[in-house]
Structure 1
Amino acid sequence: MPGRLHTGVKICGLTEEAGFDACVEHGADWIGFVFFDRSPRCVTPQQAASLASRGVGQAKTVGLFVHPRDEDIARVLEHAALDVLQIYASEERAQQVAQAFGVSVWLSFPVAGAADLPASCPVQKMLIEPRPPKEATRPGGNAQKLDWSMLAGWKPLFPWMLAGGLRVDNVAEAIRITGAPDVDVSSGVESAPGIKDPALIAQFVRNARQADRN
């Protein structure tokens, strides 16, 4: 992967100070907050704003929303000045959100096979992850691992990020197989649902960056 500085790392689902501080200390590029009440990582806009204030200018903040109404997003932005809105919605809805709020929008795009991979990007970035099982209560954050082989040789002309089942012990392999420019982790760096492990955060970032040099 010549020419790129390093793999971008997003740590998602921050709920507490120790985890947030570890993200900043170890150089995560993006720190994510979940605004979806079915998730064990859900935070209030006030909690997100308080955490974000601990690392102003150190990493970009991402808010995750599931089929949000404009008022849902506006209520969060009243308290937390997010850099990115990551949403589960249709491509048309993602474009509407981008136009309404003038903030970078990422579209979460679950796939089951290579035929599902997007041919274009209607917003600033596509987040490629596994399609959730039928019994799942959440569209993402289920610790499912994507079949990375479906991405081998896939070279889209738009920004994208790999998510789903990434951990300290497999992130380097995932980057090597898929060529992912950015990676996203949540449960893979947790000691309990919603509680991040600072040591795992440090190792995950280190292993993702080491993959660039290999």
Structure 2
Amino acid sequence: MSIRVKICGIRTSDALDAALDAGADLVGLVLFPKSPRNVSLDEAAALAARARDRGGAEVVTLLVDPDDALVDVVAQKIKPDLIQLHGHETPARVEAVRKMSGLRILKAVPVGDADDVAAAFDHLAPDGRAAEMLLFDAKPPADPGSLPGGNGLTFDWRILEAAKGRTPFALAGGLTPENVAAAVALTGAAIVDVSSGVESRPGEKDPECIRRFLTAAKAARP
């Protein structure tokens, strides 16, 4: 089965169309004011509606430590297929967001070593009450002002060996058209997630880079 590709940080209809035209399986909308890829609720709702009208891709809304009010308005106004939690959410909070929203949850976990990978599975409740899937991402820089993701940083993919065969997972962190095939071959990820790796500058998607990323990812084999 072909790997699935998520193009994250979509801000404009042109970028959305470029991702959909290239065959993206998921498109990500960031609601995090500190990110150069942030969109407003109204913008996100319009982009999500456009994606639904065109069909072919699931809409993912990325939230960072959201409160209940934000979760509720995202579910009601944007109506995404999934919520991606990219903050310090505990397993209990992940479960609460899933119940509150009624949506599937993709939980991003920053990893730097095998212990981080092992601890991440606490977010996957045996009965499926919490996150549906984990997204392994590079740990952000130690700078307290750094973003939780989208930093263009990679990590040692070999630490994901313990996750192979245990559950399907998504991979993010410094992926580009040039390295995505190697990442898939080494990790066996079910989904690859790219943002900065297909941009001409922070927040500005490059249609040609998107096309090359999709081509390379879809041709990759674990």
Counterpart-to-counterpart distance in 2, 1:131 and 1:66:
15
CA-based RMSD: 1.5
Distance verdict in 2 for CA 1:29–1:192, change over 3 Å: same
Which residue does 1:126 correspond to in 2?
134
Counterpart-to-counterpart distance in 1, 2:73 and 2:6:
23
Shift of residue 190, structure 1, vs aligned partner? 0.5
Which residue does 2:76 correspond to in 1?
78
Shift of residue 178, structure 1, vs aligned partner? 0.9
3-state DSSP of counterpart to 1:99: helix
Farther-moved stretch of structure 1 (93-102 vs 145-154): 145-154
Q: Which runs of 5+ in 2 are unaligned?
A: 126-130
Structure 1 residues 96-107: aligned runs within 5 Å: 96-107=96-107
Counterpart-to-counterpart distance in 2, 1:11 and 1:33:
9
Counterpart-to-counterpart distance in 2, 1:156 and 1:43:
36
Shift of residue 153, structure 1, vs aligned partner? 5.6
Counterpart-to-counterpart distance in 1, 2:66 and 2:10:
20
Is 1:91 aligned to 2:91, yes or no?
yes
| TM-score relative to the length of structure 2 | 0.89
Structure 1 residues 33-44: aligned runs within 5 Å: 33-44=29-40
Amino acid at match of 1:10: K
Runs of 4+ in 1 over 4 A off after TM superposition: none
Q: 2:9 aligns with which of 2, 9, 13?
A: 13
Counterpart-to-counterpart distance in 1, 2:170 and 2:179:
16
Amino acid at match of 1:125: M
| Deviation digits for residues 114-137 of structure 1 (CA, Å, limit 9, x no counterpart) | 121134523101010111111042
| Deviation digits for residues 125-160 of structure 1 (CA, Å, limit 9, x no counterpart) | 101011111104211111111211212363252231
Counterpart-to-counterpart distance in 1, 2:187 and 2:132:
20
Q: Is the 8 A contact 2:31 2:40 kept in 1?
A: yes
Q: 1:64 aligns with which of 62, 65, 87?
A: 62
| Structure with greater helix percent | 2
Which residue does 2:128 correspond to in 1?
none
Counterpart-to-counterpart distance in 1, 2:189 and 2:75:
30
3-state DSSP of counterpart to 1:176: helix
Counterpart-to-counterpart distance in 2, 1:36 and 1:156:
33
> Identity, % of aligned pairs?
39
User: In the comparison of the two structures, how many residue pairs are matched?
Assistant: 209
Is 1:163 aligned to 2:172, yes or no?
yes
| TM-score relative to the length of structure 1 | 0.92
Shift of residue 76, structure 1, vs aligned partner? 2.5
Q: Which runs of 5+ in 1 are unaligned?
A: none
Structure 1 residues 134-213: aligned runs within 5 Å: 134-135=142-143, 136-152=145-161, 154-212=163-221
Q: Is the 8 A contact 1:91 1:107 kept in 2?
A: no
Farther-moved stretch of structure 1 (60-69 vs 87-96): 87-96
Q: 1:53 aligns with which of 46, 49, 52?
A: 49
Q: Is the 8 A contact 2:164 2:187 kept in 1?
A: no
Q: 2:22 aligns with which of 13, 19, 26?
A: 26
